[in-house]
């Protein structure tokens, strides 16, 4: 278990994702967005709306089992994004950078942006909004009710 927890509300996530969109809008017009599932889906939707970007691709990488990290496995590559030229990669958080490095390998020319960043993962991304200490576990609004609740699929 993490030493600290940081609870993010829906309102805060929306404000932070919109702030990220402001920064990204200043850079260029993006060809498309690659959302890293699952955490990047909601921030990517907010950012896509703000940037009026209609071309959305996903990349699925399994790294976590609850709060335990394992080896990353690409379960769905971002085929439509090619090498990433002109594309924006969006995730909710960069933690150790493990997932980000895998995605960077798949899309070396893309711009990588996250809403939240921890110190170990910061060097792997190009743009982020809020830094969080490495020993903090972020509780995103889709994970809480306000406490952790197991996904419905796990409840017999």
Q: Known catalytic residues?
A: 91-92, 95
The radius of gyration of the chain's CA atoms, rounded to the nearest angstrom, is 15
Please report, in angstroms and rounded to a whole number, the separation of the first and last CA atoms in the chain: 25
| Cα 43 to Cα 85: distance, rounded to the nearest angstrom | 21
| Cα 135 to Cα 148: distance, rounded to the nearest angstrom | 18
Tell me the CA distances in angstroms from 38 to 27, 78, 140, one per residue in order.
Answer: 25, 14, 11
Contact call for residues 103 and 126 (beta carbons, < 8 A):
no
Residue 132's CB is within 10 A of a number of other CB atoms, namely 18
């Amino acid at each position: 278990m993490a030493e600290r927890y940081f609870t993010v509300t829906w309102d805060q996530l929306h404000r932070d994702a919109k702030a990220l969109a402001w920064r990204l809008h200043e850079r260029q017009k993006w060809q498309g967005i690659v959302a890293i599932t699952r955490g990047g889906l909601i921030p990517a939707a907010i950012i896509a709306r703000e940037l009026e970007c209609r071309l959305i691709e996903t990349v699925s990488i399994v790294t976590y089992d609850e709060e335990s990290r394992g080896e990353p496995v690409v379960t769905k590559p971002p085929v439509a994004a090619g090498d990433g030229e002109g594309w924006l990669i969006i995730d909710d958080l960069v933690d150790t950078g493990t997932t980000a490095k895998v995605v960077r390998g798949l899309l070396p020319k893309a711009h990588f942006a996250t809403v939240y960043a921890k110190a170990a993962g910061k060097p792997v991304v190009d743009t982020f909004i809020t830094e969080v200490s490495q020993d903090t576990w972020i509780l995103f609004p889709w994970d809480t009710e306000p406490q952790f609740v197991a996904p419905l699929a796990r409840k017999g």
